[in-house]
Structure formats: C-alpha cells, structure tokens
Structure 1
Amino acid sequence: MFQLSISRTLLVIYAAIAVISFVAVGLVAGWVKERSMNTLAAAESRRNAELVFQNLYSVMRKGWTKDEITELVARMNAAVPDMRVAVYRSRQVAEAFGDVEADRIARDSDPVIARAMASGGEELVLMGDTLRYVYPVVVGADCIECHAGTRVGSVNGVIDIRFPVDRLKVPLEFTLSTVTYAFSAVIFLLFVLVLLKVRLLIARPIIDLAHHIEGIMHSGDLGSRVGNKPFHWLHEVRSLAHNFNRLMGELETSRNALIEQSVTDPLTGLANRRRFADVLGHEFERARRHGHELALIMVDLDGFKPVNDKYGHAVGDAVLKRVAEIIAGHVRVTDLAVRAGGDEFVVLAPETTAEGARALAEKLAEAIRNARIEAEGATVSVGASIGVACFPVDGVEPGDLFATADAAMYADKRARKAAAG
C-alpha cells in the first residue's frame, strides 16, 4: 500500500493550497483587470467626449456651419491617429437644421447609437481590440436659445469615440501584473515559512519519535527515552513524548520482571538452573583468565521427604523457603545461591579458596540443622548433606567440579547415616 511520510503529506497539502491560492489570485486579478479597464475606459472616453463636446459647443456658439464642424472633427482625428471621433445628430436636430445621410444611416442601422439617443445614457462597448464609447449630448437650459423646439433633457446627438484597447491595456496589465507577481511572491514565501514552522513544531517531533522507536526496535534498549527537546513546546507533542516514555517504562519493568521470572525459582526466590548455567560459564572464564579460585557447594536436605509426605506439600514448601532464606543469608553479594531442583541447592562462590568454601559449607549445614520451621501448626526440622569442589584443585571444567562436589555430598550423606544408625 502506497504511503506518504508526514513531511511529504504536509508538502502535498501545502502545494495543493498554494496552487488553489495562485489560481484564485489569477482569477481575481483577471476580474480586477477587466473591471479596472472598463472603469478607466469609461473615464478616459468620457473625458475625451467632454473635450470634443466643449470644442464643438464653442464652434456652434460662434455660428459655424455644419461643414466647419465636420472639418473640426476631421482635424481632431488627424491629431490623434489611433482615436476616431464621429458626431451624429439626433432626429430633432436634423428636422430643425437639415439631415445628413451619414447621420440618418447611423441612427437607423447602428443599435448602439440608437440606444444612446433613445435613453440619453452612455454606451461602452468592447469590439475586439477596439473600445467604443458613445456619449449623448443632452439638451441643457443654455441650449434652448439655439435649438428652439427642443426640451431640456432630450438628446441632440451623440459623440462616438473609438480607440484601441492597448492604450489602456498595456499600462494596466503592467501595473496589475507587477502587483499580482509581488502578491504571489509574498504568498509563496508565507507558505514556505508556515510549512517550515509546521514541520519544525509538529512533523519533526513525530519524525524524531518514529526514528526513536525504530532505534529501539534495532537495539532492543527499552531503557531509551525521548528527550525533552526545545521544539517540544506543543502540549500534544509533550503529552505524546511523556506517554511514550511511560509506556516504555512499563514495558521495561514488565520485561525485567519476565527476565527475572525466567531466571528465578518461583518458590524460593533463588536463582534457577538457567541463571546458574549462564553465571557458571561466565565465572569459569573469568577464573581462568585472571587465575582466581572458584568454589562449588552442593546442598541436599536430609529428612525432607518424610516431612513432605507426613505434613503435606504446604509444610514441605515452607521448609524449602526457610532453607533458601538461610542459604541467602550466609552467602556474599558476589556469590550465587541456586535451587537446583527438589530439595537440592547449589552455591557458586567466585574467588573463594577451598578452606573458605569448607567453612561456608559447615556454617550452612549447622544453620539448616538448627532451624526449627513452623508451618500449618507443625514444627519440623531437616538436616543437610554438603559437598564442596574447587577450581582448579578439583577440576578445570564445570563437569569436573560437579562430579567432585556430588561425590563429596553423597559421601557426607552416607557418613551421617552411618553415624546416626
């Protein structure tokens, strides 16, 4: 299954948002451009129309003829080659001063001029690369003097101005493009900064935690913890790290408990055979490497079976626990006390001489024989047969020490039976 990392996911999300934002900016810029161009075109055309009208008005007040007015319009067109100005009179002016064929055709065939004359409103029309502005000349109070029979508010004619859109489009596009590019650059920088911040504050702690977990999987070190780094200031991130550390602590505790259970006798709390085998190999290597002595003491309880058979397993377990306590109380921290199984115990004593091992064995035997154990309403006691073997005197291999200590233990058991019998 295809999966993205959190950094790539954030990058994809922010890229999608950036694309949508840039498209939105482009659409808004286009809309602003169109509206601005229409507004500027209307203002520019209205200004030009007002200038044309004022020139015509000044001419008409002097009593110039229609041909002289036509010549004035022609001079204006020649002065500004990329702009075309035309003047069309309305029907009421034509009836009063005479009609012109061009005016009649325009009134009858041009719907833009017809609308402007009928409504008295401006007309702004985009025709390809040309912008057309039709400005109605509305009768004012000062026009009644020359145009008798007309009424204020009626239309005497229109001024038709046409000029290329590029006159407005080029400077407007430059301005809007500059603003759009600058705005897009600012948005892009903001997106990059936000992405870096989000990655630092949210993605990076999660990535660090993932790497930390991966490291634990490879090393098996459950004691490793997530550190309190400076960018872990978000509550959720700190909570995630804290809960992870708690979980790792519980796992470590559980693992240590399982390890302890796997190497500990559940009844007595002493080491079991598995732990004994691991430590025995290590201590033998250490004794060989440094030339130290190593003692092995084997303990077998005398009279345990009759006690167990007579009083039951509860009393028998109490005896084993008490003997374990006695052994654990007599050995050193560096020694290892082991329940080998049943009523047999072993003590591994590193760096201990034969004399020291025999002295410890005698103390153990005496302490066990003198112990009075109360359990289930009964008071019982047991004896102990003990065998001692030392490295390297009695052997240089673990098997040699076991054989020597086992033989000595059974010899001690036979001697005790003979003495008692």
Structure 2
Amino acid sequence: MAYLFGLVKQISLGRLLLVLSLIALFLSFLLVFGMSSLMRDRAVHELSREEARQTSQLVFQSLYSAMRKGWSKAEINEAITRLNAQFPDLKIRIYRGAVVAAQFGAMPHEADEVARDAVVQRALREGNEVLLIPDAHSIRYLYPVHATAECLACHTQSHIGAVHGVIDITYPVTHLKVSLGGMLNMMVGYTLSIIALVFLLLYFKLRHLLVLPIAQLVGVMREISSDLNLSRRVEFGTPLRELQHLAAYFNGLLKTVHDYNAKLEELSTHDPLTGLYNRRKFEDFLRYEIIRATRHQHSFSVIMIDLDNFKYINDTFGHPIGDLVLEELTSLLHDGLRKGDVLARLGGDEFAIMLPETEAASGMQVANKLHLSLADKVFELPVGKIRCTASFSLVSFPEDGKTEEEIYTSMDVVLYKAKTHGKNQVMTADNEADRSMMTVFKQGDFLRAALHEDRIEAHLQPIVRVSDGSVMAFEVLVRIRDGEVIVPAGEFIEVAETLGMAQALDKEVFRKGLAHFARVSARHPEALFFFNLFPRSFNDLDWVRGIPQMLREAGVPCERIVLEITEREALPNITQVRAAIEELRGTGIRVALDDFGSGFSSFLWLKYLPVDFVKIEGSFVQQIVHDERDRIMVEHINSMAHRFGLKTIAEYVEDEATARMLVEIGVDCAQGYYFGRPARPE
C-alpha cells in the first residue's frame, strides 16, 4: 500500500477517498476470507473434537451395551454395520486392544489393519485421543476406550486404565455441527476486528496525508501572526492536489503581501519621486541623533532648504517639469554631501540635511557650498534651460534647540527670516529677534496641534439688556483646552494672525459655535449669536460670502447671527468690505462694529459702513464711575449711535456701579464678568 501511495505524486482529495475506500474494501475481503479460514480451522480443531468425542462415546455405549448382553463378535460386527448404515456419511471402525484380543480373540483382518495404520498403533499404545485431518473434506477422530472397574467383571485379565480398544470415526467437515452461539460470537468478534483495522488504516493515512499538512499550515499562520514574519513559507509533503494548490496559493499570497509590505515600508520612509527619506524617517534620524549627541557630548547641524518661487515653475511649465527640477536638485545635493549625512525631502519643495558630529561653523561651510552649487546650476530640461535658487536655514544642536520640536521651530524661524530678507541666501539664528520669533513659532505648533487634536472650543458670554438684565445675545469666543487648563484668546490671537492661522481658527469656532445653537435656543429662543471674526478672515471675502450657506446647512436662521468687525478689517479695502456687509445683511445677518472708539477713524466708519450694533471700547467703560472723561466718551458714543439708529453694547462691565451708570446713560446692552464669564453652554 505504501508503494501504491509512493507511485502517486499528485492525487485529488476525492480520488484519495475513492482509493482508500477501494483499499479498505480489498483488505476487508482479505480479512473476511482469512477470518473464514481461521473460523473453519477453529471449528475443525476445537468444535469438531467435541462432536467427535460425543459421537464416539455414543458408539462406545451402544457397543458396550451389546457386549454386556453377551453378544458375539458377529453380532458386534453387525451392530457396527448398522451404525455405518444409519450414518452414511460416517465411517466407524473398532480396533481391539491387546488385552481384549488376548482374552476374547481379535476381529477378522484386524491385526493386518492395525499393522498398516501407525495412528491406530499409537492410540492403542498411548491411550490418547487423536484428531486428524487427512484432507480438506473430512476429519478422523480416534477415541481410546479405557478399562474401568465395571469392565474387569468380564475382562478378568485386564486392569483399570488399560486400553481395551479404539473407536475410529471418519466423517466429512461439511456435516460438522457447530455451536450457533459460538459461531455468532466469532463472527461479531472478527467483524469488529476488521472494522478496527480498517479504521486504524484510514486514521493513520488521513492523518498523514490531510491532518498533519493542515496542522503545519495552521502553525505557519500562527507564526506569521505572532512574529509578523512574512518570509515563512508552507512546505507540504503530501500528494493531495488540493493541499498542494492550497500551499501554492497561500505561499503566493504571502509573497504578494510581503512584496506589498516591502513597498509600503519603502513608501512610508522614502519619497516616491526623489527616493530620499521622507519627513517621518528624517524625524526618526533626528530623534536618534539627539540621543546620541547628548550621550557623547557633541554637536550636529541641520540644514533646511526651501526652493524660491518653485510655484512659478510648476504653474508655468507644469508639474512634470517641476518634478524634473526636484530630481535634478536631489542629485546636486547628494553630490555635495558626505557619506554619513542624511538628506530628506520634507514635502513639496522643502529639503532637510542632517550633518552628524558637525558644529555650526562647519555646517555653515556645507550650506554655503550647496548654495553656490545651486546658484551656478543650470537645469537642462525639455522646455529649455532653467535656473533655480533656494533659501537655506542652518541650526545647530544644542545651541538652537535641544529637542526635536525646538530644532524644527528654529529651522522654520531661520527659513522665515531668509525668505523675508530677499530669499536666495543662507541664514542662521544669531540674534535675540530670532529667539523671539522661535517663541512665536512654538506657539504656532501649539495652535496647529490644538486644531489637529480638536481642542478648539467655543465659549459663550452673555450680552444683557441693562434695563432689566435679560439676555439679549451671546458672544461666541474662541478658547483652547490644554488638559484641565482653558487658554483664553488673548494668549494666541497675535500668534495666529502672524502665522496666518486666524482664518482656520475662525472656521473652527464658527462650526463649534453653531453646534451650541440648538441647546442655547431651547432656553433663550430669541437670543442672537455674535461671532468676533479675526481681522484677516475678512480678507477672504469668498469665505465671508459663504457664511449664509454654512448657516443654512447648520439649520441656523441668518437673522440670529451677528458678525463683529473692527476698523482693521475695513481699513485696507473698505469698498469690498462694504459690499460684503451689504450682501450679508441682505440675507438677514447683522453686523456689529467692535471696539468702537479705539481708533482715530472709528466715527468715520459709522458714515460708510452699514452696521446694526456699536460695541463701545471696554477701556472707556471700565472707569466711567471714577473718570468723568471716560463717562463723557461713552455718553457721546451712545448718543451718536442712537442718532444713527444703532443699538449700543458696552464691554468690560465688571461691577454693579458701572452697570447702574450705563442705565443712567441709556446704553442698550452690556457684557462683562459682572453679567457672566465665557463658558460652554452646559
């Protein structure tokens, strides 16, 4: 059978089951025939002995009864003849022992027959039963008759135990009477043995051909899951075609996943265009170098490169030409670096170089060399010859930063300085102004992180009617949550405007503020929402004009929204601002002139800008109880606004005395800590 399986190099599972079934059937036939032969031999050797003994005893008792009646030899021979006639399939012969023959005489021809038959001689001599199978169709049983005490009454010359004779019986096996219970027990036992053997055969063969390969596959999958080792492969030593296909497809899948994983790993650490390390990998190198430099007490330098006017190349010649410029620049930078230096593309047209164990002076030499090489480089491109310049910033560890964040901030600050000083030059952080700008950039990182991590919050401060203290509106104010600390807008507004992040904050506050509208309206169904936009947000008039659509999408009526502007928004482009305000007011949105009185031209805007509210500068309001000049200013602003048909709102009201005086002056509304601090709706 092993030879048969060895011949089959590939076999399907269905064919395997068919082959195993045929083999099991063949073995079952062999076992049945073998068991039949064993049963026959057992019947002959065991069951036939008992039947022959019983038959011999019956014959002996018949002859013994005749002899006790005094029958002669002729009568005894006649009785034997009758027995043979009665049992035609049996052949019965009687042989007298020596003691009986000596006293009563031998049978005719008996001596000659005994002399020719050694088996009879042995039975007469030894006195033992003898069972013979002369051929496949018959058996022969010799039953010796031993003398008993009763026999000695006639056989006076004998003694107890002497062999008086042998009864020789021969009969066919086909007429053998076998015990039904014994036969059934044998059949059940042999059948169970056959089933057990076939089961063991199928178990071990299927275990070898099917179970063990599947267990091996599961083991490989477990190793891949635990160790993430995609180089493992399944190797089956089985002829089953399905398992071979399973192994082949599984190994192919592993190879595909391994290749994709390698590509993804390459893409996760390298820039696909230039093949350089990307920002993520550069940050890993930078972190490692900071640890190494700190441990060994040495410096290293980082150069950041930003191409000047690269957008012009992309817009004029197309992005494919821009990509060629970046590839050429990569080659130029590579040629100017040492083997251990790390060159990376941070994104767009920004590159960074890390110079391990390099002090600022040596790093400056490298930066100047690369700057001159680029200045002299003429890029031969399909559209013609192109020159390209770049701004270089150089920072050093630990002078310009001791952490990854500080180094990045320093690079941004120095690069910003290079751009503002005319571009196409190499700059370092070398004065106190640069250090101050680094602080601003650090705060910018804080703002960017707050935006990215969704930590911008919209807090509401009530605006009340001073006549009765009822809530007229809420001003939506921006805050940043830093753990358990709430950072007020005064700490980051200037940074946001300096770094061009004001509009992003405005959009986030607008979104968060509108999300509070439904909750607040449930308690104050007529309250207005004042949004204090950053000055630079009004520079993007398209975004401002999109505010009504934003309100409609949020389900907020335009009539419930008030936009606050200052003269800083209006001053640079009053014509456009006026047109935008009129367009917004046409949708129902109202406008408030904020910080009125803080600038020299505040009164002029009442003439040119169509607004609905005037918010009186808080610095005048705070001291009206104690300073008559401030009170006069507030009175005149309030009077003038009312004559223009506008409502007034006093800011920075922090005590009851101030609130009472505002009632006397006739100011419409007020806001400040006296009426409520900025907080979330809940």
Question: What is aligned with 2:133?
Answer: 126
- 1:203: how far off? 2.7
Distance 1:60 1:192 in 2: 66
Distance 1:99 1:37, change over 3 A: closer
Counterpart residue identity of residue 159, structure 1? I
Counterpart residue identity of residue 340, structure 1? T
SS at match of 1:95: helix
Check if 1:59 corresponds to 2:66: yes
The answer to whether the Cα contact below 8 Å between 2:92 and 2:170 also exists between their aligned partners in 1 is yes
Distance 2:254 2:168 in 1: 89
Distance 1:221 1:123, change over 3 A: closer
Distance 2:101 2:21 in 1: 67
2:103 corresponds to which of 96, 99, 123:
96
> Residue by residue, what CA displacement relative to the aligned partner does 1:112-159 show, whole Å, maximum 9, x if unpaired?
111111111111111112211111111111111000011111111111
The answer to whether the Cα contact below 8 Å between 1:14 and 1:195 also exists between their aligned partners in 2 is no
* Greater displacement, 41-50 / 60-69: 60-69
Distance 1:213 1:39, change over 3 A: closer
- After TM superposition, list the pairs within 5 Å mapping 1:359-398 onto structure 2: 374-375=359-360, 379-380=364-365, 382=368, 383=371
Question: What is aligned with 1:147?
Answer: 155
- 1:168: how far off? 2.8
1:184 corresponds to which of 189, 194, 202:
194
2:9 corresponds to which of 4, 10, 24:
4
For structure 1, the residue ranges without an aligned partner over 5 or more in a row are 224-247, 272-317, 350-360, 387-397
> Residue by residue, what CA displacement relative to the aligned partner does 1:294-349 show, whole Å, maximum 9, x if unpaired?
xxxxxxxxxxxxxxxxxxxxxxxx88x6135x57xx99xx9986543114999996
Distance 2:30 2:141 in 1: 32
SS at match of 2:128: coil
Counterpart residue identity of residue 127, structure 1? P
Question: What is aligned with 2:462?
Answer: none
Question: What is aligned with 2:143?
Answer: 135
Question: What is aligned with 1:42?
Answer: 49
* Greater displacement, 142-151 / 72-81: 72-81
Counterpart residue identity of residue 399, structure 1? P
The answer to whether the Cα contact below 8 Å between 1:90 and 1:117 also exists between their aligned partners in 2 is yes
Counterpart residue identity of residue 143, structure 2? Y
The answer to whether the Cα contact below 8 Å between 2:35 and 2:190 also exists between their aligned partners in 1 is no
1:340 corresponds to which of 309, 317, 330:
330
The structure whose residues are more often helix, as a share, is 1
2:172 corresponds to which of 153, 159, 164:
164
**TM-align CA RMSD:** 5.2
Check if 1:109 corresponds to 2:120: no
The answer to whether the Cα contact below 8 Å between 2:277 and 2:345 also exists between their aligned partners in 1 is no
Distance 1:149 1:56, change over 3 A: same
Question: What is aligned with 1:215?
Answer: 249
The answer to whether the Cα contact below 8 Å between 1:42 and 1:124 also exists between their aligned partners in 2 is yes
> Residue by residue, what CA displacement relative to the aligned partner does 1:193-252 show, whole Å, maximum 9, x if unpaired?
5644665532335578564663366568543xxxxxxxxxxxxxxxxxxxxxxxx5xx76
> Residue by residue, what CA displacement relative to the aligned partner does 1:333-381 show, whole Å, maximum 9, x if unpaired?
x9986543114999996xxxxxxxxxxx8xx79x99xxxx944656455
Distance 1:21 1:340, change over 3 A: same
Question: What is aligned with 1:399?
Answer: 382
SS at match of 1:323: strand
For structure 2, the residue ranges without an aligned partner over 5 or more in a row are 1-5, 219-233, 236-244, 280-299, 312-318, 335-343, 376-380, 391-421, 425-682
Q: TM-score, normalised by structure 2?
A: 0.36
Distance 1:127 1:25, change over 3 A: same
The answer to whether the Cα contact below 8 Å between 1:29 and 1:180 also exists between their aligned partners in 2 is no
> Identity rate of aligned residues, in percent?
25
Question: What is aligned with 1:322?
Answer: 303
Check if 1:201 corresponds to 2:211: yes
The answer to whether the Cα contact below 8 Å between 1:141 and 1:152 also exists between their aligned partners in 2 is yes
- 1:91: how far off? 2.3
1:76 corresponds to which of 83, 88, 91:
83
- 1:253: how far off? 5.8
Distance 1:151 1:170 in 2: 37
* Greater displacement, 15-24 / 196-205: 15-24
Counterpart residue identity of residue 111, structure 2? R
The answer to whether the Cα contact below 8 Å between 1:264 and 1:270 also exists between their aligned partners in 2 is no
Distance 1:16 1:63 in 2: 68
- 1:35: how far off? 3.7
Distance 1:45 1:193, change over 3 A: same
Distance 1:62 1:416 in 2: 152
- 1:70: how far off? 1.5
Distance 1:252 1:145, change over 3 A: same
Distance 2:262 2:118 in 1: 93
SS at match of 2:303: helix
The answer to whether the Cα contact below 8 Å between 2:93 and 2:167 also exists between their aligned partners in 1 is yes
- 1:65: how far off? 1.8
Distance 1:343 1:85, change over 3 A: closer
Distance 1:212 1:263, change over 3 A: farther
Counterpart residue identity of residue 4, structure 1? K
Q: TM-score, normalised by structure 1?
A: 0.54
Counterpart residue identity of residue 130, structure 2? E
- 1:56: how far off? 1.3
Distance 2:52 2:113 in 1: 20
- 1:162: how far off? 0.7
Distance 1:141 1:206 in 2: 80
Distance 1:151 1:348, change over 3 A: closer
Distance 1:150 1:347 in 2: 128
- After TM superposition, list the pairs within 5 Å mapping 1:258-337 onto structure 2: 269=277, 322-324=303-305
Distance 1:348 1:130, change over 3 A: closer
SS at match of 2:304: helix
Distance 1:92 1:146 in 2: 12
* Larger relative contact order (Cα-Cα within 8 Å, sequence gap ≥ 6): 1
Q: What count of residue pairs does the alignment treat as equivalent?
A: 302
Distance 2:145 2:189 in 1: 38
- 1:6: how far off? 9.2
Distance 2:345 2:49 in 1: 110
- 1:188: how far off? 2.5
